Structure 1
Amino acid sequence: MEFRVLGPVEIVGDGKRGALPGRLQRILVGVLLARANRPVPADTLTDALWGDRPDPRAAQKLQLHVHRLRTALGEPDRLTHGPDGYRLRVQPGEVDADRFESMAAEAREATDAQHAVRTLRRALELWRGDPFDDLDVPVLADWARRLAEHRLLALEALYEAELACGMDAAVVAELSDLVRRYPLRERLHAQLMTALYRSGRRADALAAYQAAREALVAELGLEPGPELRDLQRRILDSDAPSPAAAAPAQLPADTRGFVGREPELRELDTLMAGDGPALAVVAGTGGVGKTSLAIRWAHSARARFPGGQLYVDLRGYGPDQPRTPEDVLAGFLRALGVEGSAIPSDPAERSARFRTLADGRRMLVVLDNARDVAQVRPLLPGSATCAVLVTSRDALAGLVAREGAHRVDLARLPEADARALLRVLLGDRVDAEPDALEALVARCARLPLALRVAAELVRSRPELGVTELAAELADQQDALDLLDLDGDRHTAVRSVFSWSYQRLDPWTALVFRLLGRHPGWDTDAHAVAAMAAAPVRRTRRALDALCRAHLVDQLPGARYRAHDLLRAYAAELTDPSDDPLAADRLRDHYLGAAAAAMDVLAPHETERRPKVSTPDSELPPFTDAFRWLDTELPNLLAVVRQDPSVAPRMSGTLWRFLDIAGYHDDALTLHTSALEAARAVEDPQAEADALRVLGAVTFRLGDHPTALDHLEGALTAYERIGNHSLRAATLNNLGAVHGSRGDRAESKRCYQEALALYERTGQDALRPPVLNNLARTLLALGSPEEATAHFEQALAAVADGGDPTSEASALCGLAEVCLATDRAADAPDYARRALDVARQSGHRTLEGTALRALGVAHLRLGDPDQATHHLESARAAAREAGDSELLASVHTALAEVTETGHPTPHPPVSP
């Protein structure tokens, strides 16, 4: 049952829409819904129904209307009567207004602008008009006003998020219409000005400010507020506006108890205050506080950078491989609103795209823990409006010489500041032992990291004094220093670590040592529990204890990471008696978790993925499988580097996620490792699987000859081993490659052979993508009737909703068939349905394809304004998806709208 109040009041049940017969019935339902699941007195209902018109038969009439409503509901216990009045029983989510409020709240909590856009679009699509439409009833007035205001807030949040995604030109038309309808909403005016300015229409942005000012003065007698005035000033100064929601804010939390470093902070202030490009390097030994200084300064200066703050730990020093510039650039581009599939595969193109997006933004980029100059250079934005702050143990002399960076050499804390830090961390108790305080500062080598760990040791044991701690550290110093052969000044830190480690209980100490064996940079409690063969709850308690001891840091999202010095120390402590199967359990855990996440993300492909045993470890809840895979991908790939034999299974498990998310570089590396591993053990099935997915990724990267070689090799291998299902999947990929090369006849043959194989094996669930691809080929070959039949077959096959990509693709295809056969009146319905499915599944290419079909259909139906609006949105979607063919077809349609008013239909690009 569904109750609708966001427009005319309706009841929908059993798939049928129930337009209620008469105004009084709609009022009755509206008032009962306003107090859903609570008794509503009969007097309240009669007042709402008949108001000031007294009627001696009002009670009998009310009973008649209630009887009719019960009949319409079809469930007698839905509407009951008791001594306090009538009660309408409503389940959570049955009222469209409640679902709207829930989705709007979800969007407010979203950290990803793309997710916020999709959620708000779905929420706003619930609206069919004004709340309660024509029901001017006092008892409903407050609810209606509140809903209408919340709709406006959701619209403002939507355009804020779309601006954050770079959809500047696409939102101009909608915002222009909204400011005409709501001339007193200053936030809408600000968004329109921002969109116009970013679209290169500076004069129009300033004209929009003038129009806003005239409306506010005329209606309210007030000048625009400070936000609008500041925005106008910034546009006049050519300072690109960047609303807060549009800007990335990636800085980690500021360090608690930060003391000293005033000269260095002032020096950074001076460096970053100039008008030209600012580039500074904070250099110093491990544990000296480079990151803390950089983060403290960045937080103090963030107001100077309204364009956002990007942060990345480059992992330059530690047991793992440093992060590559290509991976970092991919993350930066995503933070700036670029969809994964739109991220260029070429490293130089990624760097150029980043510089383009950063140009004109007042943005801060913090590159933490850099290894060398080569790692940093591709990440420099190049705009005079951006500032870059780098930290490294290396002096990065090349960056100073060539790029003009200014280096801030960070020495160990001065003695006074070191004592002040301990005083902040320990309070007045240090004043009672001044000599011991001096000794402890010396034992910790005046390194902030060591001082913090030592302070926690004292805090955690009330019977321990500063004197005792300093004495024990002195006893251990010589023995621990013997373990250091490189002469690094941080040797003294290890004595502090050792003292802290020895105070751990055996179980917590084991967890600490296991962290030294984990191949990734950060992790969650489930993975550590798998290594330890322990319950997650017990493992989390140990990790919390390590956090309290400052041996591990807890990161957002319930993740854990140790400073690289501590990771190295934990690795040194690895005991031969520790469980030798920990690495195997971790491998099995990540494989099993990845397979479970993919079963949620792509359930229709479960049978096609390699069989992975369910691990003994406890798996995380996959409430957002895509996000889990995105977060854990570095660890999944690290497991493969640690144990290459797992590459074939990991490749076969992750290939679809890597394709959807646009991780083509990682896919190429993983699938190549899988091919090498399969050949090393002479596994023909694994070799064929690796060739198939390598063919798919090289096709995505535009290397068609290599893609054909891989796919034809896979086809031969599958035929030899008799795997008809994956032979069909390979033929589907071959058809796509031949189609892109212009050989539609060969493309058609491949698709038809793939369908025949699926029919032979009885795998109907795998047929829809091939049916859609064949239908597009038939449409391109001039056979719309055959194309329609295949699209409809695909649609029928995915009626259970298990394959949203194929469903949206089929609906887009049917819309294009309508446009190609002069049935434009039928196209909008297919296109809107496709748009709904594409947005819900997050498929940006199909969203753009549906928007293009919708735009062309509106033009055919005589509505050029709506046509232009949808085509502009399609263009934005195509750009974000990086789909050049779709973008070209949208540009063709827009040009023909302008020039002739009759665009030529263009079949959508096969997903």
Structure 2
Amino acid sequence: MELRLLGGIAVLVDGRALDLGPARQRCVLAALAVDAGHVVSVDRLMRRVWGDEPPLRARATLRNYLSRLRLLLAEAGSPALTRRPGGYVLEVERSTIDLHRFDELCAEARATDDHDKRAALLQRALEQWRGEALTGVTGDWAAAERDRLGQQLLGAECDLTDALLSLGHGEDLVAPLSARAAQWPLDERVSAQFMLALHRAGRTADALAHYRQLRDRLVEQLGTEPCAAVQDLHQHILTGETPTRPERPVPRQLPAPPRWFTGRDAELEALTLSSATVVISAIGGTGGIGKTWLALRWAHRHAAQFPDGHLFTDLRGFSATEQPVTPDAALFGFLTALGVAPHHVPAELHAAAALYRTTIAERRMLIVLDNAASAEQVVPLLPGSPSCTVLITSRHELASLIDRHGAHHLRLDVLARHESRALLTARLGVERVAAEPGAVDELIELCGGFPLALSITTRIATHPGTTLAEVAAELREFGLATLDHDTDPAASLPAVLSWSLRYLTDEQRTLFGLLGISPGPDTTLPAVASLIGLSPARARKALTALEEVSLVGRRHDRYVMHDLIRAYAADIAQGLPADVRESALVRVMDFHLHTAIAADRLLDSLRPLVPVEPPAPGVRPLPLPDAATATSWLEAEHATLIATQRTAAALGRHELVWQLAWTLDTFHIWQGHRHTALTMWQVALDAAAHLPDPARSRTHRLLGRACSRTGLHDEAVGHLGQALELAVRHHDLTEQAHTHRSFALAWDAQGNDRMALEHVRHALDLYHSLDQPNWEADALSAAGWYAARLGEFDTAREHCLAALTLHRLHHNPAGESATLDSLGLIAQQTGDHQQAIGHYRDAITSYRAHGNAYYFAETLDRAGQSHLALAQHDQARAVWEEALELYRDQGRDEDAARVRRQLDDLTQPQP
């Protein structure tokens, strides 16, 4: 398979071109192919195909294009188009794409000093071109990419001409250079090559005439004289000397390498790989994350690869007091460092940028643009030739730089634990770190891998007599305030973070603050829309602005903040009006509660509803189409829902505290979150003291059940006793029945099946008298279970069959699963293992469908025993391995250890 971009876009398989479909579908393929082997985000793909304002259904349309391309390539036996975390990647050998072959050959040519070899490599590189790049692909990105690739083509052609001139060529180059000079009349490198070829061909008068034409054009159109190199060449031709390359200044502007730089091996390798084929690498990340240190470490490590010099400027995009450096000011500094006389630097930005590109066109240079504010600030400083490599650092993502100029983006995250320890060791010394290992671990945890925070703690630790334990205690007690510095803003984490707020609107700053106090470790767009009370479109725009300045990160569809940034955001929130903070918290808590209620109804539609107030204005609960989606949402939001209950308790929203515990109870039971359920009901018990019955009796009942599931048997009986007393006092027969049912579970947990059966019969009588068939079926099933455990198999079977009829009549799949499991136990204990497996299989199918993982694990466990009894060892192993995984996920260590022993016994030789 060959993929062509340097001409009309085409995929060739055995010489046959595939039909790539409509123009935008071809654009999707091109957008992936230019970054082959690298993940391209969905947002970036959309920008490349539709620009900055994609149509409403752009994501759905993009998915259709990707599906068609994946099928097309797969049918042709081509490499896969794969979905990866964060986007899509075209998994293909880069050498099968003409653009990347061109890049690799040019890079190899630049790396050799052998003119013959360089010329041969460049000839092969230029043979990859069959016309204008990306022909037939429309849009702003394609146009910008064509322009970029056209500049690379010109650079390669000029490099080849230089190599041929160095080998003594002259007259044979006049014709192609004449056409090139006509196409690029202001390009001084092309003009110089043309002049030299004319001179060597004996046409000195024509060479001098071309110089005069070039000078006139530059003066008239750009207001500048030819550069020093062209003037020197002109002088050599005038004097009749053999032209040689003039001596040129070699700037060495890199600041000193970072003294205590540690780790970042993967990032350094990524920059090395990208520099081989990509001119520009943009290092992004929040303030204090170590972007400049990474750029300088890489620059010093690879400085020898750039014999023509290194340029460096701090663009001051994010600074305490200074304004960002303007592009013309940065260009003036670069041009004078490159030997251009100050009075020859054009006043107009476009002219200065043209002179800059001309001056460095044939040089192998490294340009480091640190602390950029925007792509507009950077673009005039980009070279036009691939012989140079550019490193850019910025808190902004610089999306247009990535899309329109082919920059390779590297987002910098926090340090890993071992890298954090290495940094502390480098700053404090091996002995001191070894002397206080516990304090070091706590500092690493509290700093969360944030390089600036770690550096500030080491500075504090250098004060005479200060121990690391004292620094950790101060950081634990005072948090972000410990990392502040009154006199040196650059050494203060809050100050460094504050510089990112400069580019935000009031709405975006408000959202940043509210994210600091919003419950949960991360969040989603629908939750954020409710938090700030905006439409999803406006909320997304505000989130994108925070993401672009690296105050918020994104993992798939979730938005995250580093703990220290969250603490800073919480400080910002304290500056907001109290009613703004309170209203935002009410909205986001209502969003999570009402979405959780919808999820709970999908899991168990027969469960009693509790009264709940409508959500606050501006809240848009998430629509959930089915039980599987509901379970996925509850799993993804579990930590946030727990945090929401804590926040509600702190704000005195007692009803919401109780409603969250109730709403999540089924999910907790089914997924085996026993300890979380216990904690949430303990919090709900405090809230229930402020609520009327039946909230208090229900809370004692459900807390008692949670205690019994976690082995707190005395506490379970105590709470259930209080629940029953309250239910009797208020003549609540339904609550009395539920409490007897919970008593049965409590005695079951203690292995007392006789007491369990007695309580479940009390519940059964009450449910029957109240005409509640769903609960009656549940009690019948439970009675059958305990009867079977006591050896009363005929009674057990009778109860279970009656329960199964009721469950199916009232469409209760959860109850049906449990009853099928009970019938499986009856058959197993009466020796009919084949029938037992049939019942267990039906129960397993039902459990899989509605997601009750807790009882599902137990059914798998029991099914394995019947498989073993029938000598079906492979089937036993399969169900026990699945049960083992579920037990481990649910923290049921004793059950997991028992099943592990059962699996180990299977591996022993059978008698």
Which structure is higher in RCO with an 8 Å CA cutoff and minimum separation 6?
A: 1
TM-score (norm 2): 0.45
Which protein shows a greater Rg? Answer: 2
TM-score under structure 1 normalisation? 0.45
